[in-house]
C-alpha cells in the first residue's frame, strides 16, 4: 500500500481535486502554490485546471520581471497619442478578473510584485494610482504560483503563499502516477451555482479551527480557506450542508502543507491550548449536548491532515525542528530582493530612450503638453488637430538608482575557545552591526563555524528580525574549523558577486584554528589551511575586517588578517561605539 | 483625471472585530486627536490589520469642509487654508466624510504629490494642477498597507510632507503648494523587511498584533468573517447599533478633549518613564501625553490618570527605544518593566 508509486498517485489525486475546487471558486480560494518543475506532470495539471474552468474565464501568465505598468495598468501610449487624451491601459491583474493568473517562477518573484498581487487578492479589486490615473477595477481571480525552487529554502514570498488555499508538491509525482487518476465528471456549473447556499455547522467551524491550532498554523487565513474549501467540496457533491468528508478533504488539502508542529499524540487538539479550567468545563458541557459526531470530527480532520504531511516535513517536525509557529514559516525575504537589481525608480531626467534607458511616457507627454498650441501654430495646423506633437527635447527617461547592493557577511567563530571568552559579546557586536546595516538598507548574511564544520545560518536578507532570531539561537562550543568557515564565506562572496552585489566580510574569531579542512583535529595543519583559505580573500580583493575576540589580542588573528588583506581590530571590551566607528570605516558606504 | 469606481460592499464593521483591543484603541485615539500622529500596525499575516483601518473609515463622523475646495479646507481655521480659499472671501461649507485614502503599492510619484493634469493639457493646452493622494488625504488618514515595502523615494516624500504639513510641488512648470496634514496609518509584516527609522519615528503609536491564541476567539473570528463574506450588508446591519455607539464615543471624546486636565504629576510621570527608557527626543513624551489625554477623553474622565498612562505607554514608546545590542529583551517587555519599576517606586 505504501509503495512510492502509490504515494505518487495519491498526491496526484489530491492535486486534481485541488484543481477542481480551485476551478469552481478561484477568487474565494485564492489559488494554488504548485511546487513542481516545468514538465509533463505540471502541464497535465494545468490542463486539468483549464478544463474545469468556465470557457470564458481568462487565464493569463504573469512573467517574472513584469513591470508595474503591465501588472497594474497605466497609460496606453499608442491610444493616448492617437486620441489626444489620456487612455488607460489595463494591467494583467485586471484582465484576469473572473479567471486565473499563472505566476511563473514564483520562487524568484520580488516581494514588491507579490505584495501588489496580494493586495488585489485581499480586496478583489485593483486600486491603481499611476500615470495620472486613479482607477478602482474589479479583479477577483485565483493565482497559480509555480514554484520551481530547487532548495527547500527557495520558496515564493510567504505573504503571497499565505493567501493561496492549496499548497501542492508534485516533485515526486511521475507520469506513471497520472494514469489511473479518474477524471472528475461532476457538474461544475451546478457546483458553482450551489456554492452560495452551502452552510457549515458550528462543529465544522470548531473542528477546523482546532485542527489548525493543533498543527501549529498561526494564520487564521488557513482556517478561512479550509472552511471555504469544505464548502466548495460540498457544493461539488451537490450538498448544501458541509459534511464530514468535506471537512476531511479541506483539512488534508489546506492544513497538511502548512503544519509547523505535530499535535501531542494522546491528547485531543482541544487540549493543546493552555486550557483554563472554566473554558475546559464549558467545552465538555457543550460536547455532551452536541452531535456525537462532533468530537471525532476534530480527530478525523487532524488525521487526514497528518496523513497528508510530506514525509520530510514529518521527520523534521518529529525531531522538533519545526519552524516557530508565530509567522516564521517560509519567511525568506532576503534572497528574493535580488530582483530589485534593476534599481528603484528615482525620478526622471531629460534624455533619449537609448542604451536600455526606459522612456517615461507620462513625463514625456507632460513635458510636451504645454507646447502643443504653440507647435500647432508653428506648423500652421488647425487647433483642433488631434495629433500630439512630441519632439526629442520632450523625451524623459526614468532614472533608476543603480547603486550596487552591499551584502555584509558575518562569519562568527562559535567554537569553545571563543565561546568561553566572549561569544556573548561577539553576538552583541554582530547585532549592533546588523542594526547599522539595516539603517543603510544593506543585506546581511550570517555564517557560524564550530565543531567540524561551518554553517550558513542566514542567507542574505534584509530582515533584522530573522537575523536576530538566527543569531540568538547560535550555540557555542567545540573545535575551531577556521578554514571551513573561511571557505563557506568565500563561497558566499562568490554568490553575492555573481548577483552583481558588493560583498564585505566581517570575521569574528580568536584566530586559533584547530580543525583542519578535512575535519581532523590538529593545530598546525588547521592553521596552514586557514591561512590558505584566507589568502583567497586577498586575491579576490574583498573588503574585510577581522575582529579579534580573544581576551588579549593574539598574533594568530593578526596574522590571519594580514593574509586576508583585511583590517585587524581587537574587539574593544563592551565598547559598542568604538566598534561601530571602526567597522564603518571599512564597510563600503553606498553613495 | 480619469477615475473609475466599482460599487463596493459595506466594509467590515469596526465593532465586529474580535479582540485586537490595543489596535482598536490606538485607532480610536488617532481618530479623537489627530495630533497624536500616525498609527503603525505590525504583525502576523491574516490578523485583520487592514480590515481594522478600513473599518475605521466608515465609523468617522463627517467633517465640515469648504465647498468645492480640492483639498477639503477647514472653513473655521483661516491659518490652514489653501491659497484659493484664502483669497475667496466668504466661504461656503458642506459636510463631507473624513477622507481615508489608500496609498497602494506601485503608486507613481505624480499621483502621490499631484502633477500637471494630462487630459486638460493635451486636449486644451491648459496648464492645470491635478491634486494627488496627499491632497485628498488632507485632514484625514493616509493608509499604506505593506508600508515596509514602499519605495524609498516615496518614503522620502512622505517624510517631508508629514513633517511640514504642506505639500510643495515644483514640476512641469507648475509651482503649487497646498496644506497636507494627515494621520499616517501603516501596516506590515516585519518578516518582509524593516521600516526606516526616520519613518518609524513619524508614527505616534506603534503596535504589534498577533493571531489570538484562544480556540474560542479564533472560532469566532472565522465565523464572523464567513458571515460577512456571505452577506456584507446583512452583517453590517447586525452591528449598526454598536457602530453608532462607537461613533458617539468618538464625538463625545472630541468634545471633551480640550477640557481634560493634565496635571503636573502626570507630566512628571511621563517624563520619568521616558527617561527610564532612554527614548530619543521629546516626541515620545509628547505622544505619550497626547495619547493618554485622548484615552481619558474616550473613557469620559476629567483628568489624565496613571492608569491612562499605563495603557498607552507601550504603544507610544515601544518603537522609540534605542536598540541595545547586548539586551535581547523585546521592546514591549522593556516598556512594561519600566512601568512596573516606576509605579513600584
| pLDDT for position B92 | 84
For residues A426-441, average pLDDT: 69
For residues A436-463, average pLDDT: 78
The model carries a pTM of 0.69
Q: Give percent of chain B above pLDDT 90.
A: 25
**Tens digit of each residue's pLDDT (9 = 90 or more) over B295-339:** 999 999 999 999 999 999 988 888 887 655 445 567 788 888 888
C-beta neighbour count of A495 within 10 angstroms: 16
User: Which 3 state secondary structure label does DSSP give A477?
Assistant: coil
Across the interface, of B112, B119, B216, the residue whose CB is closest to A86 is B119
Looking at per-residue pLDDT, the higher value among A536 and A392 belongs to: A536
Please judge whether A71 and B221 are an interchain contact, meaning their C-beta atoms are less than 8 angstroms apart.
Answer: no
Asked whether A104 and A64 are in contact (CB, 8 A), the reply is yes
User: In whole angstroms, what is the distance from residue A437 CA to residue A225 CA?
Assistant: 38
C-beta neighbour count of B21 within 10 angstroms: 10
| Helical packing angle, B21-32 and B49-59, nearest 10° | 40
Looking at the annotation, which residues of B are catalytic?
Answer: 283
Please check the confidence at residue A585 and state whether its pLDDT lies above 80. no
Residues in chain B: 345
Query: Between the CA of residue A447 and those of A77, A457, A464, what are the distances in Å?
Result: 49, 5, 15
| Helical packing angle, B331-344 and B264-277, nearest 10° | 130
Burial A353-364 (b: 16+ CB within 10 A, else e): eeeebebbbbbb
For residues B13-19, average pLDDT: 90
CA-nearest residue to A272 within chain B is: B215
User: In whole angstroms, what is the distance from residue A141 CA to residue A305 CA?
Assistant: 26
User: In whole angstroms, what is the distance from residue A90 CA to residue A365 CA?
Assistant: 19
**Tens digit of each residue's pLDDT (9 = 90 or more) over A278-297:** 333 343 443 334 344 445 66
Q: Which 269-328 residues of chain A touch chain B by CB within 8 A? A: 270, 273-274, 279, 326-328
Q: Which 433-492 residues of chain A touch chain B by CB within 8 A? A: 435, 438-439, 441, 462-466, 468, 472
C-beta neighbour count of B307 within 10 angstroms: 12
> Which is nearest to A415 in space by CA: A482, A470, A492, A471?
A482
| pLDDT for position A337 | 31
| pLDDT for position B260 | 93
A329 pLDDT band, cuts 50/70/90, is very low
Q: Name residue, grid cell 485531543.
A: A268
| pLDDT for position A216 | 83
**Tens digit of each residue's pLDDT (9 = 90 or more) over B50-86:** 888 888 888 888 888 888 888 888 888 777 788 888 8
Q: Name residue, grid cell 478583489.
A: A124
Domains, chain A, ordered by start = 4-182 (3.40.50.300), 186-269+292-321 (1.10.8.80), 357-400 (no CATH), 406-586 (3.40.50.410)
Q: Give the three cell numbers for residue B187.
A: 501596516
Query: Between the CA of residue B55 and those of A41, A123, B5, B101, what are the distances in Å?
Result: 44, 13, 19, 13
User: In whole angstroms, what is the distance from residue B53 CA to residue A10 CA?
Assistant: 43
Across the interface, of B5, B109, B213, the residue whose CB is closest to A273 is B213
Q: What are phi and psi of B287, to 5 degrees?
A: -65, -45
Q: B47 and chain A: CB distance < 8 Å anywhere?
A: yes
User: In whole angstroms, what is the distance from residue B54 CA to residue B31 CA?
Assistant: 13
Across the interface, of B4, B108, B219, the residue whose CB is closest to A136 is B4
> Which stretch of A224-228, A377-381, B172-176, B250-254 has the lowest confidence by average pLDDT?
A377-381
DSSP output for B241-308: HHHHHHHHHHHHHHHHGGG-B--HHHHHHHHHHHHHHT-STTHHHHHHHHHHHHHHHHHT-SB--HHH
Query: How far is A577 from chain B, CA to nearest CA, in Å?
Result: 11
Q: How far is CA A516 from the centre of its chain?
A: 37
∠ at Cα A90 (B46, A79), nearest 5°?
A: 160
For residues A173-180, average pLDDT: 74
| DSSP designation for A485 | H
| pLDDT for position A409 | 87
| pLDDT for position A179 | 66
Q: A200 and chain B: CB distance < 8 Å anywhere?
A: yes
Please check the confidence at residue B273 and state whether its pLDDT lies above 50. yes
- Residues in B closer than 8 angstroms to A429, CB to CB, are 325
Q: Give the torsion through C-alpha atoms of A465, A468, A473, A476, to 10 deg.
A: 170
Q: Give percent of chain B above pLDDT 70.
A: 93
Please judge whether A224 and B133 are an interchain contact, meaning their C-beta atoms are less than 8 angstroms apart.
Answer: no
> Which is nearest to A482 in space by CA: A420, A442, A524, A439?
A524
User: What is the complex's ipTM, to 2 decimals?
Assistant: 0.79
- Residues in A closer than 8 angstroms to B130, CB to CB, are 132
| Helical packing angle, A4-24 and A220-236, nearest 10° | 90
CA-nearest residue to B43 within chain A is: A327
| pLDDT for position A1 | 41
In sequence order, the β-bridge partners of residue A138 are: A125
User: Which 3 state secondary structure label does DSSP give B342?
Assistant: helix
Q: How far is CA A107 from the centre of its chain?
A: 7
Please check the confidence at residue A541 and state whether its pLDDT lies above 90. no
Asked whether B181 and B300 are in contact (CB, 8 A), the reply is no
> Which is nearest to B141 in space by CA: B254, B230, B59?
B59
> Which stretch of A198-207, A266-275, A375-384, B48-57 has the lowest confidence by average pLDDT?
A266-275
A102 pLDDT band, cuts 50/70/90, is very high
Q: Which 133-172 residues of chain B touch chain A by CB within 8 A? A: 133, 145-146, 149, 151-153, 172
Q: Give the torsion through C-alpha atoms of A431, A433, A437, A438, to 10 deg.
A: 30
| pLDDT for position A566 | 83
Please check the confidence at residue B290 and state whether its pLDDT lies above 70. yes
A263 pLDDT band, cuts 50/70/90, is low
For residues A507-518, average pLDDT: 84
Q: Give the three cell numbers for residue A348.
A: 526622471
| pLDDT for position B19 | 84
Q: Give percent of chain A above pLDDT 90.
A: 9
> Which of A176-180, A241-245, B278-282 has the highest mean predicted lDDT (pLDDT)?
A241-245
| DSSP designation for A253 | I
Q: Give the three cell numbers for residue B291.
A: 495619547
Query: How far is A162 from chain B, CA to nearest CA, in Å?
Result: 8
Q: Give the three cell numbers for residue B11.
A: 466594509
Across the interface, of B3, B149, B326, the residue whose CB is closest to A134 is B3
Q: Name residue, grid cell 513625463.
A: A363
Asked whether B191 and A331 are in contact (CB, 8 A), the reply is yes
User: In whole angstroms, what is the distance from residue A358 CA to residue A352 CA?
Assistant: 9
**Tens digit of each residue's pLDDT (9 = 90 or more) over B144-178:** 988 888 887 788 888 888 878 888 888 777 788 88
Q: Give the torsion through C-alpha atoms of A267, A271, A277, A283, to 10 deg.
A: -100
Domains, chain B, ordered by start = 14-62+97-209 (3.40.50.300), 257-344 (1.10.8.80)
Asked whether A337 and A462 are in contact (CB, 8 A), the reply is yes
Asked whether A333 and A461 are in contact (CB, 8 A), the reply is yes
Amino acid at each position: 500500500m505504501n509503495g512510492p508509486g502509490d504515494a505518487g498517485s495519491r498526491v496526484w489525486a489530491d492535486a486534481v481535486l485541488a484543481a477542481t475546487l480551485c476551478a469552481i471558486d478561484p477568487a474565494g480560494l485564492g489559488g494554488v502554490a504548485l511546487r513542481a518543475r516545468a514538465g509533463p506532470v505540471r502541464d497535465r495539471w494545468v490542463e486539468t485546471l483549464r478544463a474545469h474552468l468556465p470557457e470564458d474565464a481568462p487565464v493569463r501568465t504573469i512573467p517574472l520581471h513584469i513591470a508595474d505598468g503591465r501588472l497594474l495598468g497605466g497609460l496606453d501610449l499608442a491610444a493616448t497619442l492617437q486620441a489626444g487624451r489620456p487612455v488607460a491601459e489595463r494591467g494583467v491583474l485586471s484582465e484576469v478578473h473572473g479567471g486565473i493568473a499563472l505566476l511563473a517562477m514564483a520562487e524568484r518573484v520580488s516581494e514588491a510584485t507579490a505584495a501588489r498581487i496580494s493586495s488585489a487578492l485581499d480586496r478583489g479589486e485593483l486600486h491603481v494610482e499611476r500615470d495620472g490615473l486613479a482607477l478602482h477595477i474589479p479583479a477577483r481571480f485565483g493565482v497559480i504560483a509555480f514554484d520551481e525552487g530547487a532548495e527547500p529554502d527557495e520558496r515564493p514570498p510567504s505573504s503571497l503563499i499565505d493567501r493561496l488555499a492549496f499548497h501542492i508538491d508534485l516533485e515526486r509525482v511521475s507520469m506513471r502516477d497520472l494514469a489511473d487518476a479518474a477524471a472528475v465528471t461532476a457538474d461544475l456549473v451546478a457546483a458553482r451555482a450551489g456554492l452560495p447556499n452551502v452552510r457549515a455547522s458550528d462543529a465544522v467551524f470548531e473542528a477546523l479551527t482546532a485542527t489548525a491550532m493543533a498543527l501549529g498554523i498561526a494564520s487564521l487565513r488557513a482556517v478561512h480557506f479550509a472552511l471555504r474549501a469544505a464548502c466548495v467540496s460540498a457544493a461539488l457533491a451537490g450538498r448544501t450542508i458541509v459534511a464530514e468528508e468535506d471537512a476531511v478533504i479541506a483539512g488534508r488539502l489546506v492544513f497538511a502543507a502548512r503544519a509547523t508542529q505535530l499535535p501531542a499524540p494522546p491528547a485531543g487538539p482541544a487540549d493543546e491550548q493552555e486550557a483554563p479550567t472554566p473554558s475546559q468545563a464549558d467545552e465538555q458541557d457543550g460536547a455532551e449536548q452536541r452531535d456525537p459526531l462532533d468530537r471525532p470530527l476534530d480527530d478525523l480532520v487532524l488525521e487526514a491532515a497528518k496523513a497528508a504531511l510530506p514525509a520530510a516535513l514529518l521527520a523534521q517536525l518529529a525531531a522538533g525542528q519545526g519552524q516557530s509557529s508565530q509567522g516564521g514559516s517560509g519567511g525568506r525575504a532576503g534572497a528574493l530582493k535580488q530582483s530589485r537589481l534593476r534599481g528603484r525608480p528615482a525620478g526622471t531626467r531629460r534624455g533619449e530612450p537609448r542604451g536600455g534607458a526606459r522612456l517615461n511616457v507620462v513625463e514625456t507627454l507632460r513635458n510636451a503638453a504645454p507646447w502643443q498650441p504653440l507647435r500647432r501654430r508653428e506648423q500652421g495646423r488647425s487647433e483642433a488637430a488631434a495629433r500630439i506633437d512630441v519632439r526629442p527635447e520632450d523625451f524623459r527617461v526614468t532614472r533608476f538608482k543603480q547603486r550596487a547592493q552591499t551584502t555584509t557577511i558575518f562569519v562568527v567563530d562559535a567554537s569553545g575557545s571563543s565561546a568561553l571568552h566572549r561569544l556573548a559579546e561577539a553576538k552583541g557586536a554582530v547585532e549592533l552591526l546588523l542594526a547599522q546595516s539595516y539603517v543603510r538598507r544593506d543585506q546581511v548574511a550570517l555564517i557560524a563555524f564550530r565543531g567540524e564544520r561551518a554553517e550558513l545560518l542566514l542567507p542574505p536578507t534584509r530582515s533584522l528580525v530573522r537575523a536576530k532570531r538566527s543569531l540568538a539561537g547560535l550555540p557555542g562550543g567545540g573545535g575551531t574549523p577556521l578554514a571551513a568557515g573561511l571557505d563557506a564565506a568565500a563561497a558566499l562572496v562568490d554568490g553575492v558577486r555573481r548577483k552583481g552585489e558588493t560583498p564585505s566580510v566581517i570575521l569574528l574569531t580568536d584566530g586559533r584554528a584547530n580543525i583542519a579542512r578535512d575535519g581532523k583535529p590538529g593545530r598546525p595543519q588547521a592553521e596552514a589551511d586557514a591561512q590558505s583559505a584566507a589568502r583567497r580573500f586577498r586575491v579576490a580583493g574583498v573588503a574585510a575586517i577581522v575582529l579579534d575576540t580573544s581576551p588579549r589580542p593574539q598574533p594568530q588573528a593578526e596574522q590571519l588578517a594580514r593574509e586576508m588583506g583585511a583590517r585587524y581590530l581587537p574587539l574593544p571590551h563592551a565598547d559598542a561605539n568604538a566598534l561601530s566607528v571602526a567597522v564603518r570605516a571599512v564597510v563600503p558606504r553606498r553613495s | 483625471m480619469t477615475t473609475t469606481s466599482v460599487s463596493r460592499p459595506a466594509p467590515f464593521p469596526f465593532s465586529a472585530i474580535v479582540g485586537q483591543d490595543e489596535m482598536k484603541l490606538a485607532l480610536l485615539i488617532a481618530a479623537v486627536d489627530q495630533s497624536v500622529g500616525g498609527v503603525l500596525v505590525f504583525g502576523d499575516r491574516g490578523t485583520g490589520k487592514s480590515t481594522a483601518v478600513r473599518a475605521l473609515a466608515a465609523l468617522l463622523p463627517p467633517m465640515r469642509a469648504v465647498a468645492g475646495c480640492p483639498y477639503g479646507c477647514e472653513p473655521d481655521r483661516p491659518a490652514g487654508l489653501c491659497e484659493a480659499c484664502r483669497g475667496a472671501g466668504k466661504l461656503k461649507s458642506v459636510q463631507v466624510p473624513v477622507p481615508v485614502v489608500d496609498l497602494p503599492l506601485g503608486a507613481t510619484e505624480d499621483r502621490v504629490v499631484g502633477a500637471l493634469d494630462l487630459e486638460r493639457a493635451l486636449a486644451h493646452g491648459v496648464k492645470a494642477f491635478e491634486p494627488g493622494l496627499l491632497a485628498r488625504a488632507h485632514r484625514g488618514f493616509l493608509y499604506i498597507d505593506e508600508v515596509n515595502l514602499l519605495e524609498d523615494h516615496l518614503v522620502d516624500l512622505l517624510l517631508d510632507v508629514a513633517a511640514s504639513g504642506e505639500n510643495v510641488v515644483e514640476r512641469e512648470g507648475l509651482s503649487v503648494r497646498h496644506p497636507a496634514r494627515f494621520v499616517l496609518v501603516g501596516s506590515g509584516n516585519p518578516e518582509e523587511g524593516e521600516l526606516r527609522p526616520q519613518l518609524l519615528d513619524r508614527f505616534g503609536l506603534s503596535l504589534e498584533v498577533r493571531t489570538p491564541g484562544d480556540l474560542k476567539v479564533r472560532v469566532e473570528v472565522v465565523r464572523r468573517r464567513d458571515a460577512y463574506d456571505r452577506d456584507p450588508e446583512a452583517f453590517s446591519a447586525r452591528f449598526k447599533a454598536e457602530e453608532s455607539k462607537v461613533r458617539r464615543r468618538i464625538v463625545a471624546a472630541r468634545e471633551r478633549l480640550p477640557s481634560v486636565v493634565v496635571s503636573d504629576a502626570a507630566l512628571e510621570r511621563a517624563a520619568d518613564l521616558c527617561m527610564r527608557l532612554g527614548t530619543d527626543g521629546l516626541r515620545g513624551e509628547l505622544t505619550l501625553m497626547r495619547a493618554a489625554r485622548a484615552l481619558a477623553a474616550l473613557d469620559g474622565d476629567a483628568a489624565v490618570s496613571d492608569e491612562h498612562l499605563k495603557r498607552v505607554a507601550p504603544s507610544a514608546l515601544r518603537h522609540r527605544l534605542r536598540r541595545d545590542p547586548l539586551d535581547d529583551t523585546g521592546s514591549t517587555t522593556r516598556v512594561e518593566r519600566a512601568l512596573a519599576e516606576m509605579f513600584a517606586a
